[in-house]
Structure 1
Amino acid sequence: MEYDVKDLGLAEQGKLRMEWAGQSMPVLKNIGERFKKEKPLSGMRIAACLHVTTETANLMRVLKDGGAEAYLCASNPLSTQDDVAAALVKEYGIPTFAIKGEDNASYYRHIMSCLDAKPHITMDDGADLLVTLHSEKKELIKDVIGGTEETTTGVIRLKAMAAKGVLSYPVIAVNDALTKHMFDNRYGTGQSTIDGIIRATNRLLAGSNFVVCGYGWCGKGLASRAHGMGANVIVIEVDPLRALEAMMDGFRVMPLAEAAPIGDFFCTVTGDIHVIRYEHFEVMKSGAIVCNSGHFNVEIDLDALYAKATARRMIRDFVEEITLPSGAHVNILAEGRLVNLASAEGHPSSVMDMSFANQALSAEYLVQNYKSLAKNVFKVPDPIDQEIARLKLASMGADIDVLTPEQVKYLSSFDMGT
């Protein structure tokens, strides 16, 4: 078996951490037990480009239990948990290609290693696997029946490909499932981003000005959690509806040019490029802390910052101090990459339980329905979304009411007025 991980000697530690995460993933466990019996993925080779974490590892085990040959590489150079990668290889026989801190050349080499497996299904977190397949391994596309995508950023890329007619197979936008983005993006990103910032800096949030760039589901979660820690939250938006929502939620809204001189913490969660630029850096307070929790590190224009810097030094793990010509300095966390995964452990396993349940069931859906699907981006079917919500509620000891026949009739009629 081919693989590329840091140290197989870390496998026992990784196995224990996988077990710990698995205890909070009852929905995925439930699906895994059915997969073991039914083997719905038999004969399928699945190449996954996801964050190599304890939660992802449990997904990979479920895919293998479902009969698939599963291959895994990292979707971010800094998000890999090396002990987990080792455990997947040594304890579970899953070919894994990921090392925390790998350079870009290694990152894409690992993607190519997964593609060398000649997959039938691709699983992405940011669409790098699919885009690489379409650009450098086109000869393998004929064997691919479909794919899935985990993130907002990836879905944006895939929809652009579909609009231009260059997407070569159907992809299910797992990110757009209600049981994914309403919970993973909001509660997962919200908590894990704060966790990453605190682990990296050990700075107090209470009383600070915390600037959140973007008020989508991730931004909403981050703003809420920063507020809960006592920060004064400022929201930056370009969408008037989202800006209005942020105002109604009790946050200040202003252009970044106004927030830059007063902010203590800045975090981008937009999915767009160069949100924080040098014009903002040069007016920030000395000591300002800047990070990103969007998928790619392009949200912060680091090249422009580095070009103007008079000095750079790593002042502590995951914190780079950049000195500006004025003598002031700003602190960049985790090289501008996902701070929640680079300097912490990513989303809590209980919320990833639903996200990865969507991945597993979407893979099963592709196997069953790919012949009838066009080369486009599709939402997760509503019955899958509903079933995951039902299973999650049951695992939490909650139950809900059922409509009476009278209520069903009323909701489907038009002649019952006042």
Structure 2
Amino acid sequence: MKALENSIIKDISLAPDGRLKIDWVKAHMPVLNRIREQFEREQPFKGLKVAISLHLEAKTAYLAKVVQAGGAEVTITGSNPLSTQDDVCAALVEDGVTVYAKHNPDPAEYKELMVKTLETRPDLIIDDGGDLVSILHSERPDLLEQVRGGAEETTTGILRLKAMEKEGKLQFPMVAVNDAFCKYLFDNRYGTGQSVWDGINRTTNLVVAGKTVVVVGYGWCGKGVAMRAKGLGANVVVTEIDAIKGVEAYMDGFRVMPMTEAARIGDFFVTVTGNRDCIREEHFKVMKDGAILSNAGHFDVEVNIPELAAAAVSKRTVRKNIEEYELADGRKIYLLAEGRLVNLAAGDGHPAEIMDMTFALQAMAIKYVNDNYEKIGNNVLNVPYEIDEQVARYKLQSLDITIDRLTEEQKAYLDSWTEH
């Protein structure tokens, strides 16, 4: 089997467990199932190679299988060392997908697995955090020529892409899936909100009700985390650098203050900014004994871990995915999942029904790029509204929900400026 010969995974014998996981999510992803049927008929990727870098768990695996059903030769790697599930990797290999991924590789191996994915010379890319695109442009420009374009999953990745675009460095079009309505309204808000607390709760086994939760950043992910914390009975504090979002958090019923103040009162901290050093040395100095730190941004830089380690006199693992840092004055600060994405490194990520819409957008976005790459330029593009709206309609249909349509008279009224 070609995929098995080429792949680098932990253990092919784990495949049966991975297949059960993939079958479970497939049963709860009706939008992606519908797109798979379309792809099987139309074969939009016939003869093409698609490289994917996403959190490699069951829902991602099913996206890979949908793209494969469209005729593509698919190669996949993980976008975070701790979120890769080895049994899911094995099941994908058995299904003919080439996989370069293992759970928790060292940094050098993690990078090498990404490079191997790119060395398959893909025509299309699905990226998460911008690593594949960054490596292509900075380290392996020899592999750029064949790439037609791709799609990006996250806020962090889009920031990197827009920086490349601004400098005139981006060599192919990339669709900003994260900025689509059916992504940020549901995935970022409801998906992140639920999965972050799934990860924190299963990891700590501590009560949230009555505690003070500090949410660092009030974008769509922060909104979801705060909303779910409130539902669990927490007292929620929001820190922000954006005045408009600060007002929004206040009007949503949350206390808003700078991190220097929030650090003193927080029991749980969740960073969701896409930026670095949001919690750092000055904050560690004033935190409560027993404060719990977690991150839901893409990279493990939102909590300054080197500064935390430097302030500590000892460090030990006290529970799976919980590291205890004891400071000189005896206070203990706990870091979850090494500061990586707590919902994936210490959980199973977003619910299947949520990722159904996001991955439907990914699949349709790379089809759009493939159909139009010669004329759309080397830019960061929004998901066309028609694709966004179609995914929403498929979702409503799967729920057996219908909505109204405008009458011809209503359309004429809205298009008129003279008769109102």
Counterpart in the other structure of 1:367: 370
Counterpart in the other structure of 1:408: 411
User: Are 1:38 and 2:56 an aligned pair?
Assistant: no
What is the total number of aligned residue pairs between the two structures? 416
Listed one character per residue, the Cα deviations across residues 307-328 of structure 1 (whole Å, up to 9, x for unaligned) are 1210000000000000111110
User: Are 1:106 and 2:109 an aligned pair?
Assistant: yes
- Superposition pairs for residues 272-351 of structure 1, below 5 Å? 272-351=275-354
Instruction: Select which of 4, 8, 12 maps to 1:4.
Output: 8
One-letter amino acid of the structure 1 residue matched with residue 37 of structure 2: E
3-state secondary structure, aligned to 1:5: coil
Instruction: Select which of 244, 261, 265 maps to 1:262.
Output: 265
| Structure 1 position 276, deviation (Å) | 0.2
Counterpart in the other structure of 1:176: 179
3-state secondary structure, aligned to 1:260: helix
Aligned counterparts of 1:389 and 1:51: Cα–Cα separation in 2: 23
Counterpart in the other structure of 2:18: 14
3-state secondary structure, aligned to 1:261: helix
RMSD between superposed Cα atoms in Å? 0.7
Aligned counterparts of 1:257 and 1:326: Cα–Cα separation in 2: 19
User: Are 1:75 and 2:57 an aligned pair?
Assistant: no
Aligned counterparts of 2:310 and 2:262: Cα–Cα separation in 1: 23
User: Are 1:213 and 2:213 an aligned pair?
Assistant: no
Counterpart in the other structure of 2:124: 121
| Structure 1 position 416, deviation (Å) | 2.0
Aligned counterparts of 1:285 and 1:402: Cα–Cα separation in 2: 55
One-letter amino acid of the structure 2 residue matched with residue 47 of structure 1: A
Listed one character per residue, the Cα deviations across residues 272-321 of structure 1 (whole Å, up to 9, x for unaligned) are 01000011011111110001000000111001111121000000000000
Aligned counterparts of 1:192 and 1:167: Cα–Cα separation in 2: 33
Aligned counterparts of 1:204 and 1:9: Cα–Cα separation in 2: 38
Aligned counterparts of 1:381 and 1:119: Cα–Cα separation in 2: 23
Instruction: Select which of 344, 352, 358 maps to 2:361.
Output: 358
3-state secondary structure, aligned to 2:265: coil
Instruction: Select which of 234, 237, 240 maps to 2:237.
Output: 234
User: Are 1:142 and 2:145 an aligned pair?
Assistant: yes
| Structure 1 position 34, deviation (Å) | 1.0
| Structure 1 position 165, deviation (Å) | 0.4
Greater alpha carbon shift after TM alignment, 36-45 vs 265-274: 36-45
Aligned counterparts of 2:46 and 2:374: Cα–Cα separation in 1: 17
Listed one character per residue, the Cα deviations across residues 193-230 of structure 1 (whole Å, up to 9, x for unaligned) are 00000111001000000000000000000000000000
Counterpart in the other structure of 2:399: 396
Identity across matched positions, percent: 51
TM-score with structure 1 length normalisation?
0.99
One-letter amino acid of the structure 2 residue matched with residue 176 of structure 1: D
Counterpart in the other structure of 1:384: 387
Listed one character per residue, the Cα deviations across residues 114-143 of structure 1 (whole Å, up to 9, x for unaligned) are 011001111100000110111121011111
Aligned counterparts of 2:9 and 2:150: Cα–Cα separation in 1: 25
Counterpart in the other structure of 2:91: 87
Gaps of 5+ in 1: none
